[in-house]
Amino acid sequence: MDTKVRVRFAPSPTGPLHIGGVRTALYNYLFAKKHQGDFLLRIEDTDQNRFVEGAEQYIKETLEWCGIPYDEGPGKPGNCGPYKQSDRKEIYVEHVDKLIQSNNAYYAFDTPEDLEVKRKEAEQDHTKFSYGPKNRNQLNNSLTLSAEELQTKLDNKEDYVIRFKTKSSVTLSIHDEIRGFIEVDSEVLDDKVLFKSDGLPTYHLANIVDDHLMRITHVIRGEEWLPSLPLHISLYEAFGWETPKFAHLPLILKPSGKGKLSKRDGDQLGFPVFPLEWKDPKTEAISSGYRDEGFFPETLVNMLALLGWNDGTEKEFFSIKELTESFELERVHKSGAKFDPEKTEWFQHHYMQEMAVSKLVQEFSIILKDKGVDVQQAYVEEVVEKIRERAAFVSEFWELSSFYFESPKEFDSKSAKKAWKNDSQEWMRALIGKLESIEDFSQIHVQSEVKEWINTQGLSFGKIMQPLRLALVGAMSGPDVFHIAASIGKEDSITRLNYAIEKLA
């Protein structure tokens, strides 16, 4: 085995990538980079019946958006390609032949109807049919046929599959990097199909051959593959190859903690379970994605990293660099991790405050353009700096800041009832006179002048500040009212006050 760490993410292009798959890719990436190794992407598309157009591109786009790029894979050739299993058929034929020659695999000619009969017979005996060491010598396969009978069947091109020949009465001792040692009695295993009647390998054969030829040192994958581990270890032994280290990651669970997180959970509870929006090519149904819902990739990566792993401290915010430095397989949990939509938004709010203003301005400018707003970038930057502490998503910026860009046409009824009193009209006219006299309309100066004026009039601050805010904003919300006034300028501030006096009279 190579001393250099090499790991792979090997999804099937059967639809959009679940966030559980993204987490698997992330853990592989972090482990590889922690050990100065290679992270490969391999597309496992041998199941042509489940192939979905556009799924492969979706996988690649997801990894790029998340900031977990692969070193080798489709479009990034290394020395171990091709990286799509559908392009490697001849390799699998060659290797399954080796297993047959070494008596580790055999041809099976049993028809689906034959096997269904066996299953029903087993049900009548209150047992379960399993094609394996206990009964394979009574079934229609090359183990029970003479060489001549086998050749005749092959010459006649009878349908067959190739099955692995599981060892009889052997206890397999298997080690998992997360779960420790596991012992399995080979008698409970069946002879899995390695090659299908359509001439394509099953996942089991293709996966092992590819991992060996691509020099994979560590197989880090979801726990749904744990039952396949005895077969995969046995295949390595049958080929006479050194076995990589295996680590099976815990499930991402529903928010309730009961069962694996699914698309249905997201649909019912109102959160995405896919990284990017997905449009089904057949039904044209659209599934929401984190990117399209306005989440930052940093949010998704940080959240997923902590779903099943921690660094042993209370630290919760990690950059990709910090994750790489801290990540260890030994600290991955054995039990499933509950998904928490609210915690995800908490991460999002944090990264909103950390994000470069220039990036936020770039995204907000698209919204402003759609609203027909044309202002200087420096002005937008100032507004974003002021409002982002109240926001988790850029999509919230307009609601939080529209008054910086256009005058309110309506006034919130509850706010008006609270802020606009019988004498507010009179005092707002007086305030207009004061504002007209202020030459330096900077925030600090306006604040100083207006507060001094309020004191000289013997008024409470609420008497003036509440109706002023209502006039400028349209509601009792928003940042410092003097910042708003200074930002929109003297003329606009006075225009808004006059409009409020007229509208709320």
Predicted confidence at residue 115, as pLDDT, reads: 96
Copy the structure tokens of residue 321: 């660099």
For 275-330, what is each residue's pLDDT tens digit? 999 999 999 999 999 999 999 999 999 999 999 999 999 999 999 999 999 999 99
Q: Which ranges of the chain have pLDDT less than 50? A: 1
Which of 46, 54, 35, 34 is CA-nearest to residue 10? Answer: 46
Marked catalytic residue, from 260, 263, 421, 434: 263
CA-to-CA separations, 120 to 109, 114, 126, 127, 264, in angstroms, rounded: 19, 10, 10, 10, 34
Predicted confidence at residue 112, as pLDDT, reads: 94
Predicted confidence at residue 396, as pLDDT, reads: 98
DSSP string across 16-64: SPPHHHHHHHHHHHHHHHHTT-EEEE-B----GGG--TTHHHHHHHHHH
Predicted confidence at residue 208, as pLDDT, reads: 97
CA 94, CA 47: separation in Å to the nearest integer?
19
135, 147 contact by CB (below 8 A): no
Predicted confidence at residue 232, as pLDDT, reads: 96
Predicted confidence at residue 1, as pLDDT, reads: 46
Predicted confidence at residue 170, as pLDDT, reads: 86
Question: What backbone phi and psi angles, to 5 degrees, belong to 161?
Answer: -125, 160
Q: Is 263 a known active-site residue?
A: yes
Predicted confidence at residue 407, as pLDDT, reads: 97
Predicted confidence at residue 158, as pLDDT, reads: 95
Q: Which long-range contacts (CB under 8 A, 24 or more apart) does 452-458 make?
A: 457/430
